[in-house]
Amino acid sequence: MLSRVADSIYWMARYIERAENVARFVNVNLQLALDLPLGLEEQWKPLVAITGDYADFMKRYDQPTKENVIQFLAFDPENPNSILSCLRGARENARSIREIISSDMWTEINQFYLNLEAASPARALASPHEFFTEIKRSSHLIEGVTNATMAHSEAWHFYVIGRALERADKTTRILDVKYFILLPSASDVGMAIDDLHWSAVLRSASGFEMYRQMHGRLVPDKITEFLILDREFPRSVNYCAMRAEESLHAVTGTPMGTFQNGAERRLGQLVSELAYTDIGEVVAHGLHEFLDSLQVKLNDVGDEVFDTFFATRTYSQSGLTPWFQR
């Protein structure tokens, strides 16, 4: 497979997953607004800050109001991580590999983008829950069509790798929302309002029902363990890392448990670390620090995937010194 094709499939998957997860991210605040008692205000500034885009946001918006944040995260064409920008990127990558993906995939991705482009911020603000639910539903539809109509060969495995790495990263950020946005006071820990916060976090990852089936009562350590370490829940960091590793080895043919390139080594290290992680130690030493280190490691895996499979290798005239260019 051409590295250009693999790169496009990988980033198409990441962009679609990123658009869905931005919608989930915003829904954390939107769902809480329906349940919190009167007198508690939505906190939109940290929602932008935790995505790493706060400086970019403040260049163009005077205040982090609900309206401005939704505009920035959903519709702003100058924000490379907005839903609109992500879907534009996904559509362009899909367009460049139409001979590889199925016609059904192209139709759904193209329609997804066109529907959002035709939508207005006023409509999103008038019915935000319905709007962001549509974003998630369209993403699920594309994932289902991809799995049902695309041969599960090299191209499909690159799709799985991209989707899994993006999903794992966003799950860590959803958990960060709990600690840096949703909890107004340490005195609320263990109170009814704390349960509302944790319920919102689980629902934002579509994990509320699955968690209750497995663990019953809402227990913060159990919820954290569920979203980070569970081996069966599709949006847990551990599950995503394991699926990415399986697809990576399916592409390279390297036996599981061994490595022949930096991507396999980095991802294998991450999977092994998660397999032996104790959530009690994580909480004791600082959940935010642990989540931050996970995000760095996931970024390192992404960099290694790029260097191993996508970088355009060119040689100097002597043929001795390689350099890489995206």
Per-residue pLDDT of the chain (326 residues; tens, 9 = 90+): 788 999 999 999 999 999 999 998 888 777 776 666 544 445 677 778 777 788 899 999 988 888 899 999 999 999 999 999 999 999 999 999 999 999 999 999 999 999 999 988 888 888 888 899 999 999 999 999 999 999 999 999 999 999 999 999 999 988 887 666 555 554 454 556 667 778 888 988 889 999 999 999 999 899 999 999 999 999 999 999 999 999 999 999 999 999 999 999 999 999 999 999 999 999 888 888 999 999 999 999 999 999 999 975 433 333 333 322 33
Domain ranges (residues) in the chain: 1-150, 152-315
Element (H, E) at 227: helix 220-229
Element (H, E) at 176: helix 154-177
CA distances from 67 to 102, 114, 232 (A): 37, 22, 37
What would the two tokens of residue 109 be?
């991705």
DSSP of 302-322, one letter per residue?
A: HHHHIIIII-EEEE-TTS--E
